[in-house]
Amino acid sequence: MRIAVGQVELTTLVALPGPHDEVRLAAPVLLEALEAGWGKEILADALARVLREKWRRAMVHEHHSGR
């Protein structure tokens, strides 16, 4: 999974993976970051952490369900 965070002057650019559940998970982090003025490195790390946890939970569930 790849995400991208960049800044051009006052504009912050963010590319998130789909489908919608990843965007829903990342949106609160993104809004907090924009309000607080986080830099791109901090934002990218926070987004990656949220999405990584989603995939960890999915892998544990898959492992326990025998898929």
Q: What is the mean pLDDT of each run of 10 residues along the chain (67 residues)?
A: 92 88 93 96 96 83 62
The pLDDT value recorded for residue 64 is 63
Provide the CB-side half-sphere exposure for 66 (13 A, CA): 0
CA atoms of 46 and 48, how far apart (whole Å):
5
The pLDDT value recorded for residue 54 is 84
